[in-house]
Amino acid sequence: MAATTVAQFDGHDAVAVRYHDVDPVYAETRDIRLLGFVLFLVSDCVFFGAFIFAYLYLRVSAPTWPPVLNGHQLPWFDTAFAALNSVVLFGSGVTMHFALENWKHLNRRKFTSWLIATIVLGIGFLLGQAHEYSLVLKDVSWWGTTMGASFFTLTGLHGFHVFVGVIYLTTLLIQTNRGVYTGSKYFGLTAGTLYWHFVDVIWVALFFLFYLW
């Protein structure tokens, strides 16, 4: 069966043909690429894990937490704003999931809308994080204490991932408009969705460790 172009199914609500039914060669390479991408996510998980365990070690071995600097105990981070910003990021995960589902169901317009919503929410999270940094830096420097170093390293690393994700999703948006992906060949969209969910889940751990624990 020939691959269907994007323009042909625009606006229709039919279920997409599964890639395995379309092109065995593509299906095989897709599975290999998927495995490679999942292994990349696992390696990224280990990368974050190393920093998280360093933070746990520093926190557990500290006599007081938050640490005392120049005779003053440092404040806790703002839980209320972090909870709101977390919901923004988790919401972007749901919109990205909707985007991929609409692509699979050949609703290109809805796909585009949900993908744009995801990008906007991702940018919103980054702006929220920048606001959070501006508040935290009044009390906690990134170079002065283990608390600040851990916080800015881990959340900064995560923020970088979100930034890369926003660029990735924007690229996907441009590519879909140019007809790079079809109803049966859309590995890039699957990988983008997995990456974005991964970024969400890493934030679950960071949100718990820095704001709730």
Partner 1 sequence: MMTPELLEKSLAFVGAIIVGVTAIVQLRNDWAAKGLDAVVTKLLLGLMAVGCVLALLAAINVVGVHHAS
CB of 79 to partner 1, least distance (A): 4
E strand spans, 27-172 = 68-69, 72-73
> Hey, which residues between 37 and 96 contact partner 1 (CB under 8 A)?
38, 41, 64-66, 73, 76, 79-84, 86-88, 90-91, 93-94
The percent of the chain in helix, strand and coil, each rounded to the nearest 5, is: 75, 0, 25
Cβ closer to partner 1: 8 or 61?
A: 61
CB of 108 to partner 1, least distance (A): 20
Question: Exactly one of 13, 21, 31, 179 binds partner 1 (CB under 8 A); which one?
Answer: 31
Does position 194 bind partner 1 by CB under 8 A?
A: yes
Calpha distance 79→69 (Å, rounded):
21
Cβ closer to partner 1: 2 or 71?
A: 71
CB of 190 to partner 1, least distance (A): 5
CB of 163 to partner 1, least distance (A): 20
Token pair 């003053």 is found at 72
Q: Which residues are bridge partners to 73 per DSSP? A: 68
Q: Write out the H or E segment, with its range, that includes residue 37.
A: helix 24-61
> Hey, which residues between 100 and 139 contact partner 1 (CB under 8 A)?
101
Token pair 């998927």 is found at 34
Task: List the Cα angle 164/169/173 in 5-degree steps.
Answer: 145
Three-class secondary structure of residue 12 per DSSP:
coil
Cβ closer to partner 1: 178 or 193?
A: 193
Does position 32 bind partner 1 by CB under 8 A?
A: no
Q: In one letter, which amino acid is 121?
A: L
Three-class secondary structure of residue 73 per DSSP:
strand
Q: Are 182 and 106 spatial neighbours (Cβ–Cβ below 8 Å)? A: no
Binding footprint of partner 1 on the chain (CB under 8 A): 31, 34-35, 38, 41, 64-66, 73, 76, 79-84, 86-88, 90-91, 93-94, 97-98, 101, 190, 193-194, 197-198, 200-201, 203-204, 207-208, 211-212
